[in-house]
Amino acid sequence: MKTGAEVVIEALLRNNTELVFSYPGGAILPVYNALGRSPIKNVLVRQEQGAAHAASGYARVTGKAGVVIATSGPGATNLVTGIATANMDSIPLVLITGQVSTDMIGTDAFQETDITGITHPITKHNYLVKNSDDLAEVIDEAFHIATTGRKGPVLIDIPKDVAAGKTKGTVKPIHLPSYQPTVKGSMRQLKKAATVMENAKRPLIFAGGGVVAAAAQKELAAFAALIDAAVCTSLMGIGSIDTKNERSLGMTGLHGRTGANLAMSECDLLIAVGCRFDDRVTLNHSGFAAAKKIIHIDIDPAEIGKNIGANIPIVGDVAAVLTDLATVTTAKTNEDWMRQVAAWRGQWPPQAAADNSLMAFQITAALNRLTPKDVIYTTDVGQHQMFAAQNLEIEAGPHFITSGGLGTMGYGLPAAIGAKLGAMKQTVIAITGDGSFQMNFNELGTIRDQNLDLKIVLFNNACLGMVRQLQHHYSGDAYFGVDLPGNPDFGLIAQAYGFAAFRIEKREEVFPVLEEALQTPGTVLIDCRISKEDMVFPIVLNNQPLKNMIYE
Amino acid sequence: MQHVLSVLVRNRAGVLTRVSGLFSRRGYNIESLVVGTTEKHGISRMTIVVNGDDNIIEQVIKQLYKLIDVIKVQNITNDPFVDRELVLIRVRVTKESRAEIMDTVLQVFRGRIVDISGDSMMIEATGDTGKIEAIEAYLSSFGIKEMARTGKVALARGAKDRRD
Ligand SMILES: Cc1ncc(C[n+]2csc(CCOP(=O)(O)OP(=O)(O)O)c2C)c(N)n1
Ligand SMILES: [Mg+2]
């Protein structure tokens, strides 16, 4: 006989868990003790939200589930933002929380919260395990559910007595008749799609996070070449095609690149792959589909037709579907369209303003020149995120780790920790804002503990710039509650943890300082003082179609 | 329009919360939801009456399928099906009205009198929704003091095995 906690650790190992992100407490203590005696690496964070985000960054670069362990009550509730963030972006996490003993459940015991109840709407699935004998099966199931089909977070709540109780820990094969994700697309639909593609003159592939999640970059690029299509992406789809690819038009949507948004309006066939037509992309759903045919490929049947109706829906894993689609589709060329695409590509990036102030765009341009191959960027949320999404050169692969669906400030730094731990050989750069950084900069302590080498590029405009920009457009410049005059000297904070700090205030400092900072071993923070007035353009204002971009 | 969904679920803790939470969270209008056991151990059937156009119902069904514990969803609205509801109604009675009410309930609605007190009478009736509504309408003129309806349970007719 073993303890439930030992069975938990065995199950983690059986599911190839190399490391966990955790924070201890009373109710999780039995599991924590067993963890301490195991070969699994423990990454102790500074706050549970950091553990969930770090696990997300790790999951995205490794393709494996990120594993989190936290205690009951406040430990569990601190996870909530991280779980919701992962759920919106379909990131596979397995989260284990401690719970009060089964005989205390429902009595408002010390540090009791109904975390399965709280997380019903923000997990793919969750469990409250009431019997030690169920632990092995539940954890195997949780990994299976988290990492297959449309991926997502799965939470397992384990009462203290269940973790402490004795069990044989029998392992059973996974039996989930009610959960059978479709992988292969229907041949009938594929053939219909092939016919539509033959007649298209201006085909555009719109790639979403599903392409990155399925690691279908090769299939996507090959397919785009086969039908001579242009490619644009959603925010989550960045990384589905190399931005240097001649077909790539970059991100589309509210802050999309000019060419990408125009292509969305002018294409006669839109092939949406692994995306869910978020309102940041479609803006107003009603006018979106006009004058074009839509093929929608996604692993989740519920996404098809949810926001935008599709002429040809195809349910399946995007890599499998694109591979099969290629076998039934005839190659073609669309010279006029590709000439237009090349012209759009040439129009970006726009020219920098004439005055000498430091602009975000110069920082991203310098990063494009200075960063090595395989660089991974993580971002926080705000203008700096959009500057990064619009302007950074990103390779095909999980190279752009951002919070898309939930837009969670504070994601970037812990996500960078997880990304680095999942890809130790690669350079990891966290692009953050002064507001976002202050949400989770306590995780600098985790970076110190783990001796990680991260490059933190802080776009410091001394304000909540994205909200300020909204007030510029929609509130007649009535700025309220967006300035951050109490900001600390961020360099000193980095130094307090023993990291090197740099500051960039002028244009001419951008390149040399970034060059030096990126070459400095270990974690560094680069405090870039940019102007509040440096806003993100283009923007499409409320109730406007994508093509109505404005630039001031 | 009103749709009747017959949903088989694994009878796990929280499955009712998951299903009802899905409806409220996504803004779908539930008319009624009834859960009960089935012939198979560990599997329950929910009969859900929901309002919405075809697009909404399609989304409802797809979203239900995303729940790990949902095994099968049948939209039986347009199929032949048998549906039943049970109602208990406590109606006000007087010396004058008593005989008439008893007569109508027993003869017309094939109901049963299950309790009688000084000024009221409890009536039990089963039937499809139309009949339940008719008996309710009839009794309301005498004054309904309390009422409990179970909501609809339904099964498709015939023995064919549905895959969707
Ligand atoms: C947790 C959270 N709270 C509030 C918001 C709303 N919000 C979106 S962007 C933003 C400002 C971000 O400021 P900063 O990190 O400095 O980035 P900037 O826009 O200045 O580049 C705010 C408050 C959010 N996205 N997340
Ligand atoms: Mg800022």
The whole-number pLDDT of residue A552 equals 84
Fold agreement between A2-167 and A360-536: yes
Residues B65, B22 within the same domain: yes
The whole-number pLDDT of residue A501 equals 98
B160 belongs to a structural domain? no
Alpha-carbon distances, residue A72 vs A69, A115, B108 (angstroms)? 10, 8, 59
Which residues have CB under 8 Å from A446's CB, separation 6+?
Answer: A43, A44, A45, A46, A50, A54, A414, A417
Sheet harboring A293-298: ordered strands across? A248-251, A230-233, A203-207, A269-273, A293-298, A312-315
CB-CB: which of B18, B62, B65 is closest to A120?
A: B18
Mean pLDDT (whole number) for A433-462: 98
Residue ranges making up the domain that contains B130: 82-153
**How many of the other CB atoms lie within 10 Å of CB of A516?**
13
CB-CB: which of A128, A178, A306 is closest to B68?
A: A178
Residues B7, B71 within the same domain: yes
Domain boundary among B26, B57, B75: B75
Task: Check pLDDT > 60 for residue A401.
Answer: yes
* Residues in chain A, total: 552
CATH 3.40.50.970 fits domain A360-536: yes
Give nearest CA residue, ligand 1 atom 13.
Answer: A464
Residues B9, B58 within the same domain: yes
Best CA proximity match to A5, nearest among A37, A42, A34: A34
Tokens describing residue A102: 């089964």
The whole-number pLDDT of residue A36 equals 98
The whole-number pLDDT of residue B47 equals 96
The whole-number pLDDT of residue A34 equals 98
pLDDT band for position A350 (cuts 50, 70, 90): confident
Distance B124 CA to ligand 2 centre (A): 67
Distance A464 CA to ligand 2 centre (A): 4
ipTM entry: 0.89
d(C-alpha A28, C-alpha A228), whole Å: 55
Task: Check pLDDT > 80 for residue B161.
Answer: no
Residues B22, B70 within the same domain: yes
Alpha-carbon distances, residue A413 vs A66, A88, A357, A527 (angstroms)? 16, 19, 27, 14
Distance A412 CA to ligand 1 centre (A): 12
Contact at CB, A178 and B10, closer than 8 angstroms = yes
Residues B68, B111 within the same domain: no
Ligand 1 site, residue A467, Cβ cutoff 6 A: yes
**Residue B134 belongs to domain with CATH number:** 3.30.70.1150
B161 belongs to a structural domain? no
Give nearest CA residue, ligand 1 atom 9.
Answer: A382
**How many of the other CB atoms lie within 10 Å of CB of A508?**
12
d(C-alpha A30, C-alpha A37), whole Å: 11
Residues B95, B67 within the same domain: no
The single-letter DSSP state of residue B148 is E
Task: Check pLDDT > 70 for residue A354.
Answer: no
Task: Check pLDDT > 90 for residue B46.
Answer: yes
Q: Which ligand number lies closest to the CA of residue A85?
A: 1
Task: Check pLDDT > 70 for residue B160.
Answer: no
The whole-number pLDDT of residue A224 equals 98
Task: Check pLDDT > 70 for residue B163.
Answer: no
The whole-number pLDDT of residue B164 equals 43
The whole-number pLDDT of residue A356 equals 75
B162 belongs to a structural domain? no
CATH class, A2-167 region: alpha beta
CB-CB: which of B10, B21, B63 is closest to A302?
A: B63
Tokens 């009422």, located at residue? B147
Tokens 């790639």, located at residue? A207
Mean pLDDT (whole number) for B133-139: 96
Q: Which ligand number lies closest to the CA of residue A470?
A: 1
For residue range B6-25, what is the model confidence (pLDDT) as tens digits? Answer: 999 999 988 999 999 999 99
Probe target for ligand 1 pocket from A381, A384, A391, A529, with the most ligand atoms within 8 Å of CB: A381
Domain boundary among B75, B91, B117: B75
* Residues in chain B, total: 164
Q: How many domains does chain B have?
A: 2
B70 belongs to a structural domain? yes
Counting residues of chain A whose pLDDT is more than 90, the rounded percentage is 93
Which residues have CB under 8 Å from A85's CB, separation 6+?
Answer: A52, A53, A56, A91, A403, A405, A406, A408, A411
For residue range A478-521, what is the model confidence (pLDDT) as tens digits? Answer: 999 999 999 999 999 999 999 999 999 999 999 999 999 999 99
For residue range A254-293, what is the model confidence (pLDDT) as tens digits? Answer: 999 999 999 999 999 999 999 999 888 888 777 787 778 9
Counting residues of chain A whose pLDDT is more than 70, the rounded percentage is 99
The whole-number pLDDT of residue A466 equals 98
Please provide the average confidence, as pLDDT, over all residues in chain A: 96
Residue of A nearest to B56 (CA): A306
Interhelix angle A360-370/A507-519, nearest 10 degrees: 40
Residues B7, B64 within the same domain: yes
Q: Is A400 helix (H, G, I), strand (E, B) or coil?
A: strand
**Residue B26 belongs to domain with CATH number:** 3.30.70.260
Sign of torsion over alpha carbons A411, A416, A418, A419? positive
The hierarchical CATH code for the domain A187-346 is: 3.40.50.1220
The whole-number pLDDT of residue B159 equals 61
Degrees to nearest 5, angle at CA B29 with B26 and B31: 145
Where do the structural domains in chain A lie, given as residue ranges?
A: 2-167, 187-346, 360-536
B164 belongs to a structural domain? no
Residues B147, B93 within the same domain: yes
For residue range A151-190, what is the model confidence (pLDDT) as tens digits? Answer: 999 999 999 999 999 999 999 999 998 899 999 999 999 9
Residues B149, B93 within the same domain: yes
Mean pLDDT (whole number) for A330-341: 97
Sheet harboring B70-75: ordered strands across? B29-37, B43-51, B2-10, B70-75
B93 belongs to a structural domain? yes
Mean pLDDT (whole number) for A126-139: 98
Q: What residues of B are in contact with residue A124 (Cβ under 8 Å)? A: 68
